[in-house]
Amino acid sequence: MPDELIDIYDENNNPIGVQSLRNEAHRDGLWHRVINICIYNSKGEILLQLRSKDKMIYPDMWDISVAGHIGAGEEPLTAALRETGEETGLNAKIEDLHFYKIRPEQYQKGDVNMKEFLYIYLLKYDGDIANLKIQKEELQEIKFIPITKIEEGLKAGSKKYAPHGEYWEDVIGEVKKKLNN
């Protein structure tokens, strides 16, 4: 995947007027913004993506529905709509996305020193995933998985899910709240 230009932020998510290539930000541990969209349905399932085997981080693992970097000068909501369309082919509208929270996350994995502000959105989709078209460069497949099955796998320490720790519990908990309202 070609590198992209992104804005850089301080540790409090304030812009510092600097842009960097995504790979440089990862290498140098520069704070930047990404979007995560958790797509769920009325049956209590979450749409997960099986990441490409060629991904630098968490290859060949099940991960949140949609994720991507917010481009330089791009608004989080615009990036969320763009990435949803690119990765799943779903033509979501602004009113379909429900902003949940901004979650800072940092970790070291090999040469990657990740410092990100995750802009997390929820999107309810009761359509047929056979109508969606995945971005083959980014992911291998998508499928709805029951929340209970995801929770059981995470609790058992399954290596098939991207190791996001408390993130999974946080987002799944918010989806459950939405389903119970």
Most distant CA pair in the chain: distance in Å? 44
Label residue 46 exposed, middle or buried (CB < 10 Å: 0-12, 13-18, 19+): buried
Provide the 8-state DSSP code for 79: H
Would you state the structure tokens that stand for residue 122, as one six-digit string?
A: 């929820």
5-180 architecture in CATH?
Alpha-Beta Complex (3.90)
Residue 1 has pLDDT above 90, yes or no: no
pTM listed for this prediction: 0.94
Q: Which residues contact 161 (CB under 8 A, 6 or more apart)?
A: 61, 62, 63, 150, 153, 154, 168
Q: Which residues contact 51 (CB under 8 A, 6 or more apart)?
A: 58, 59, 60, 61, 62, 63, 138, 139, 140, 162
Domain boundaries in the chain? 5-180
Q: Residue 109: which pLDDT band, with cuts at 50, 70 and 90?
A: confident
pLDDT (tens digit per residue) in 51-99: 999 888 889 999 999 999 999 999 999 999 999 999 999 999 999 999 9
Residue 2 has pLDDT above 80, yes or no: no
